[in-house]
Amino acid sequence: MKFKTLITAILFVIISSAELLSQDSASGGQTSGPLSGTLVIAGGGRLSDDIIDRFIELAGSTSAKIVLVPTAAGAESYSDSLGNMFRSRGAGKVTVLHTDNRDTADSRVFTRPLEEATGVWFGGGRQWRLVDSYKGTRSEMLFRQVLDRGGVIGGSSAGATIQGSFLARGDTKNNQVMMGDHQEGFGYISDIAIDQHVLARNRQFDMYGIIREHPELLGIGIDENTAVVVQRDTMEVIGASYVLVYDGTFWSREGNELKILPAEEILFYMLRRGDRYNLRLRKIIE
């Protein structure tokens, strides 16, 4: 009996793995969120209280130890207005961490606040600056360990895009170039490209430049004052506007039967507050 039970268990694992691989293959890449912790990915602009409050709550509220990283804005553009907002909303402790020196970012002295952080927030600006300063350093390793401990990583605008695996608008010369000289983000979600300010700046067609070259990627575009909260493979929309999904399919609350749709490679659809999406299956959670 024990031998039969062992064989049954092995077969179950093999079949389950095959099903997951089949699902991933059918949808393109193998998009998935973090195994632990939470992401709050905001599309830029002035963020409403519900987005900020959700991040602070996930970080521990009055017990939160938040590290604010304003590096994407460049040192000359930094002000502590965001830090003050977190503090005024009840965050327990807020520490600012900024450098454009990779040796500093790799040092134990600089990274000490990350060792006990319950939340990290990446500010807006140019996402390539985050790559140049932190990619491959001790800082980047400790950012991810915040998630591993069950903490939260958030960010807005550039701080949203950096959380994806493919770095949209990562060109050092022009933020209109979707596939620039920096193409690798921090990868808290795999096989994804994340854009921001999409409707406010009429960017809804820009994602096609990436998807055509990398059809395995899931594309999402987040409008201003809107965010997605990601826990494992579930993405939930919060905020005032919409999130655009580029997964090669179309979805509508009205159904699709009577709709005249464009070609598959230029399809997208919108999600709003309360909508939930399975990243791995690339499907709406009804």
pLDDT tens sequence across 33-90: 999 999 999 999 999 999 999 999 999 999 999 999 999 998 655 567 778 888 988 8
> Three-class SS of residue 228?
strand
For residue 206 the two structure tokens come to 């820009």
Calculate what percentage of the chain has a pLDDT beyond 70: 88
Given a cut of 70, whether residue 19 has pLDDT beyond it is no
What number is the average pLDDT over the span 152-164? 98
| Alpha-carbon distances of 271 from 125, 173, 251, 264, rounded to whole Å | 25, 32, 9, 18
Q: What is the DSSP string of 38-92?
A: EEEEE-SSSPPHHHHHHHHHHHTGGG-EEEEE-GGG-GGG--SHHHHHHHHTT-S
Q: Tell me what pLDDT residue 79 has.
A: 60
Q: Tell me what pLDDT residue 28 has.
A: 55
Report the mean per-residue pLDDT for the chain.
90
Phi-psi label, residue 28: left if phi above 0, alpha if psi -120 to 50, beta otherwise: left
User: What is the tens place of the pLDDT at every residue in 200-235?
Assistant: 999 999 999 999 999 999 999 999 999 999 999 999
Given a cut of 50, whether residue 154 has pLDDT beyond it is yes
Given a cut of 90, whether residue 18 has pLDDT beyond it is no
What number is the average pLDDT over the span 232-258? 95
Measured distance CA(163)–CA(158) in Å, rounded: 9
pLDDT band at 27 (very low <50, low <70, confident <90, very high): very low
pLDDT band at 8 (very low <50, low <70, confident <90, very high): very low
Q: Tell me what pLDDT residue 85 has.
A: 85
Class of CATH domain 34-284 = alpha beta
Q: Of 24-28, 32-36, 67-71, 95-99, where does mean pLDDT reach its minimum? A: 24-28
Of 249, 252, 176, 253, the C-alpha closest to 219 is: 249
Residue boundaries of the structural domains of the chain = 34-284
